[in-house]
Chain A
Amino acid sequence: MTLTIELTPEIESRLEAEAKRNGMSKTDLAKNVIEERFAPKEKRQNHIPEGVKPRYVGKAKTRDFSGDREWLAENRNEYIGQHVALHGKHLIANGESYKEVATKAREAGFKDALIVFVEDPNAPPFVEFIS
Chain B
Amino acid sequence: MIHQLNFQKKAIYDSLEVGITIETILRLGDIETICEAKVDTGSDICIFKREIGEYLEIDIELGYKKRLSTLAGGLSAFGHSLELETLGLKFETFVYFAEDYALDRNLLGRQGWLQLVKIGLDDYKNEIYISPQDEEIY
B7 at the interface (CB under 8 A from A): no
What is the interface residue range for chain B against chain A? 35 or more
Shortest Cβ gap from B65 to chain A (Å): 8
B55–A129 CB distance below 8 A = no
Given A47-B45, A114-B36, A128-B70: A69 and B14 interface contact (C-beta under 8 Å): yes
B129 at the interface (CB under 8 A from A): no
Given contacts A56-B116, A62-B25, contact A129 B42 (CB under 8 A): yes
Within 8 A of A (CB), among B79-138: 79, 81, 83, 85, 87-94, 96, 104-105, 107, 109, 111-112, 115-117, 132-133, 135
Bound-state CA distance A33–B74 (Å) is 12
Determine how close the nearest CB of chain A comes to the CB of B133; give it in whole angstroms: 7
Whether A130 pairs with B70 at a CB distance below 8 angstroms is yes
> B14 CB to closest chain A CB, in angstroms?
5
B residues at A contact (CB < 8 Å) = 8, 14, 16-19, 23, 25, 32-36, 38, 40, 42-45, 47, 49, 51-52, 54-55, 64, 66-71, 75, 79, 81, 83, 85, 87-94, 96, 104-105, 107, 109, 111-112, 115-117, 132-133, 135
